[in-house]
Amino acid sequence: MQKNTSKTLRVFFYLLILLMALLMITSGCSKGKSESSTNPESEKSKKTENLLRKMEEDINSLIEELEKEYFKEVIPEEKNKVEKTGQAKQEQSKEQQKGGEKSDQGKSKEGSSGGQEQKQEPEWIKSESKVEGIHGLWDNFRGEAALQGYGEDELNAFNEKLNQLTMMFTRKDLYGAISTSNDLFGTLLGYYKDPKEKAAGPAKKTLFYIRSATYKGLKGNYEESQKDLLEAVKSWEYAKAIVEDPVLNKKTEFAVKDLIEALKAKDPNLVKIKFTIAQNNLKKAIEMVEKGKS
């Protein structure tokens, strides 16, 4: 009887020791997971990625605003609309001036001469506030990135382009502003380190090239635009392997080819139409890849 009791106690103690050991192992694992989840390096990396995404968003928004104004400037049909609107405003202003002259000629002359001295800023100059915002985001990103292995030359590439963009606004150079904004977008893509973020890279690179080709082509530099389109085709070959939508892939492929032909035809209206279709398809492809990675 005593032997059985002693044996039972030994088994009980062995089981107790085993249970305690298991609890210690489990506790250690959960602690390790907790520590890794709050890894300071991981948090810093997330911060830089968030800053990159915000900069990319703001640059794309800036490009969209500048595009509208650029098309108005270089496409005859769009230019005519703007000129007609401007003429209508001038006629309205003249009518108002005539009315003012009847009531008070002195004030009218003073106001007229004052109005002539004032130079109207182009509408797109209002977008300069976005550039200032990008400068602020870049300052925050660069400080973090420098401590995470980004090279000085690598960071200088974006910084120089951002400074150029600011100077384009100072000079009121619309083509310079839109092409430099797109260069900023292209440079920014190289800063993503997270493989998930890189997934949409080829589609974004394709977008960069079709923008560049379109802006150059509408400026009259058709030879250079064709070179960019060849790069767009190469980038899309990589991108379509990631975009899991066969119909969208085909639509985008056709749209890029159509843009090539439109630029060869040197017809601004046709270029704008085909570019808009290609750009919209690429934006859908990028969105699809980004949703898939989350």
Identity (one letter) of the amino acid at 59? I
Q: What is the CATH number of the domain that holds 234?
A: 1.20.120.290
Please report whether residue 63 resides in a domain: yes
Please report whether residue 85 resides in a domain: no
Is there a single domain that holds both residue 256 and residue 141? no
Please report whether residue 9 resides in a domain: no
Is there a single domain that holds both residue 184 and residue 210? no
Is there a single domain that holds both residue 151 and residue 62? yes
The per-residue pLDDT for range 186-230, each reduced to its tens digit, is 999 999 988 878 899 999 999 999 999 999 999 999 889 999 999
What per-residue confidence (pLDDT) applies to 13?
60
Is there a single domain that holds both residue 187 and residue 198? no
The per-residue pLDDT for range 85-102, each reduced to its tens digit, is 545 555 555 555 555 555
User: Could you say which residues of the chain have pLDDT below 70?
Assistant: 1-41, 77-119, 293-294
- Beta carbons within 8 Å of 71's beta carbon, 6+ residues apart: 78, 218, 272
Q: What is the Rg, in whole angstroms, of the alpha carbon atoms belonging to the chain?
A: 30
- Per the CB < 8 A criterion, the answer to whether 184 and 164 are in contact is no
Identity (one letter) of the amino acid at 269? N
Is there a single domain that holds both residue 58 and residue 187? yes
User: Which structural domain range is residue 275 located in?
Assistant: 194-294
